[in-house]
Amino acid sequence: MKKQMLILALAAACAVSTHAVVAQPEKVASTQMKPVAAQTQAALWASRVLGRYHYKATPLDDAMSEKIFDNYFQTLDSEKLYFTQADIDRFAPLRTKLDDAINNEDLNPPFTIYNLYQQRFADRMNYARSLLKTKLDFTVDETLQLDREKAPWAKSEDEIRDLWRKRVKNDWLRLKLAGKEEKAIRETLDKRYENYIGRMKKLNNEDVFQMFMNAYATAIEPHTNYLGPRSADNFDIAMRLSLEGIGAVLQSRDDYTVIREIVPGSPADKSGKLKVGDRIVGVAQGNGPFTDVLGWRIDDVVQLVRGEKGSTVRLDVIPGDAGVDAKHVTVSMVRKKISMEEQAAKKSIIQVKDGGVTRRIGIISLPTFYQDFEARRKGDKDFKSATRDVARILGELKKDKVDNVLIDLRNNGGGSLVEAVELTGLFIDKGPVVQQRTAEGRVEVESDTVPGLAWDGPMGVLINRGSASASEIFAAAIQDYGRGLVIGEPSFGKGTVQTLIDLDRFSQSDKVRYGELKMTIAQFFRINGGTTQLRGVTPDIKLPVTTDPDMFGESSFDNALPWVSIKPANYVPSGDLKELVAPLQKRHEARIAKDRDIMDLREDIAEVIKLRKENAISLNEAVRRKERDAQDARAKMREARLAAGKGATVPDEPAAAPGGKEARSKVPEPTRPAKTVVASRNSLQRDDGLQADERALSAEIAAEKAAKDAKDVLLQEAAHILADEAGMLKTDTRMASRTMPYMVPGRGN
């Protein structure tokens, strides 16, 4: 009934339609993007939902139009490398008209802006290519500004051309320092800039519409997003960790769709005819004709390869180890349900030696809080669930006789709220886990109602700045109950709840899809009454901070909701770990003061922070060679230590959480500096000047595997902390009874 009332109310509100004025640019791209009727209608329905039912309901008026205007230009050209101030001034009349564009079902204004952007993008790339024919002087003392997000728009064509001259010069210098010859450098960069133009041409009106609608949605609040039909499908796949297809991970390289990975046991694997590096040039459904996919966007190819379970797909393949003119191979496969195990919970065990005692620490890595909502709704007893997977792993760790358990939530951007609550229930008996407050001020408490614990031994949670939303709910509940130690760095600070609104319900045709809104509808609060919003979860024991909070996290958003508190929920703590924290902190600090790996990590972090504050890089070859030689010397010292068996550093590498600033851009931006990551996993690797798709696929895969297999110094230190805790609890039974009275001797250990 509530759903029907919502539809009727919005239908009445959407009945009026007029027309808006459109500003026309002087020069536009050869391929003009235009909105379609379904998009203008979807925008109208979305605006009515956002204006009435959002947690921070904001009217779509002139004031909101100004925010959308600025957000849209930020989305298109965040580094201010394509538009000039004159371009911005040309569209100034639209600053207060974008609300009219949505209300009047006339989206020509944002599409007109995009069309000029497309032209400017091509202009800049063509100019960059022309510079490759000139002689660049690397003896001049000049610098390139790395981050231009807060810089003013270029005042003239001459100014923006000079910006691009410096960018091309930096691209050239990076390759030159890597040992490339002039001819190879020119060919590499010419192809790179040409590829940027090619990728731009592959964007379609759905991409443009989604960028504009997200400029609107995020102008209200950072975690509200519009998902086009295809993005909505991909979001659903990510949540249920499964899809129906052949089990091959695809990647675009040049104009080819290349097999990047094959899922074990999948149709692609069982066919015996496909291998990593093979190029797919055609796709056919059943016995139908092949569709040539050479030069296609990767998501368009994926759409053809995916299909209903039990259906047949045929691929026209050029073997990866053969030339482009080699004989093609046809591979026929029956699609099946594919499980995305890479994102599922996994276990490992770290053994920590303490004198003559070895402590076994069970590690459960959880990349996301996933759940197959549809399967659960249908009553499928085997539905995919993060909580169910973790419960199974805990049972295995009991048999492995581990002394402590660490839940690794680093870079876990969240997911299902239900999973966060149920996962907490594995470690507490019963009780409230999180509170939610709606826009109307109604507070609801989400509780674990299942008695008993899946693990009653000591445990900890490892977080970093990339731990957000559901991760913060879990970590905060564990901390408030005194159930386990929270270790790491302050989390993201996302204390809001989103729901998916299917806009297709407003469509008059089953064939016309409007997409979905991921809309903020509530704010969640800890059971102690505080919120993780803005401030995140503060760890009990702090590890080195690897990110810049001004650039990554909730506090980096201008329109983030403020920190507030409400009345605490009625709960009884399981224990009180405060007595343990001080001695554990002391041991931790004494250990890392002598740990060369941690010292290296801190050195890397300090170096990157220094570069970020300077926000400039020299374009003088002699200066850059001196810097590179110093970095090479540091790298060799670390390699020597590794060879001597003393360890080498591999700094932790946080990934951008959903809704982070790096998630905004939908177009290629050459050499755009990373803003969310302070210390990268390979921070001392020599820069080869290449981008991912310019390296050999085998080399790229090998490098990724090496990084994945390398020592994770922060995880190792977290395991040492939990090993210390396990030892203290076993040797001091009085401390154990005071800090963890819920523990039953002999169980979970």
478, 459 in Cβ contact below 8 A? yes
Q: Which two tokens stand for residue 233?
A: 């499908």
Strand partners, 525: 435
257, 347 contact by CB (below 8 A): no
The DSSP line for 669-714 is -TTPPPSS-SS-TTTTSPP----GGGS-HHHHHHHHHHHHHS--HH
Residue 260 CB partners (closer than 8 Å, separation 6+): 248, 249, 250, 251, 276, 697, 701
Helical axes 578-592 vs 713-731, angle rounded to 10°: 130
Question: How crowded is residue 633: how many other Cβ atoms within 10 Å of its Cβ?
Answer: 9
Q: Is the dihedral of CA 191, 193, 199, 205 positive or negative?
A: negative
Number of H helices and number of E strands within the chain? 22, 21
Q: Which one, of 601, 397, 573, lies nearest residue 484 by Cα? A: 573
Please, are residues 168 and 134 in contact by the beta-carbon 8 Å criterion?
Answer: no
- Around Cβ 697, how many Cβ atoms within 10 Å? 17
DSSP state at residue 527: T
Q: Which of 278, 480, 540, 597 is catalytic?
A: 480
Strands (E), 299-452: 312-318, 329-334, 336-339, 346-354, 357-365, 404-408, 431-438, 443-448
| Residue among 112, 1, 3, 105 nearest 45 (CA) | 105
Q: Which two tokens stand for residue 587?
A: 């041991």
Query: How far apart, in whole angstroms, are the C-alpha atoms of residue 161 and residue 217?
Result: 33
171 is catalytic: no
Of 656, 683, 649, 713, nearest in space to 462 by CA: 713
3-state secondary structure string across 583-600: HHHHHHHHHHCCCHHHHH
d(CA 218, CA 549): 19
Q: Which of 469, 471, 491, 574 is catalytic?
A: 469
Residue 469 appears among annotated catalytic residues: yes
Q: Residue 385: which of 266, 175, 241, 502 has the closest Cα?
A: 241
Name the catalytic one among 176, 384, 494, 675: 494
Known catalytic residue: 480? yes
Q: Which residues are catalytic?
A: 469, 480, 494
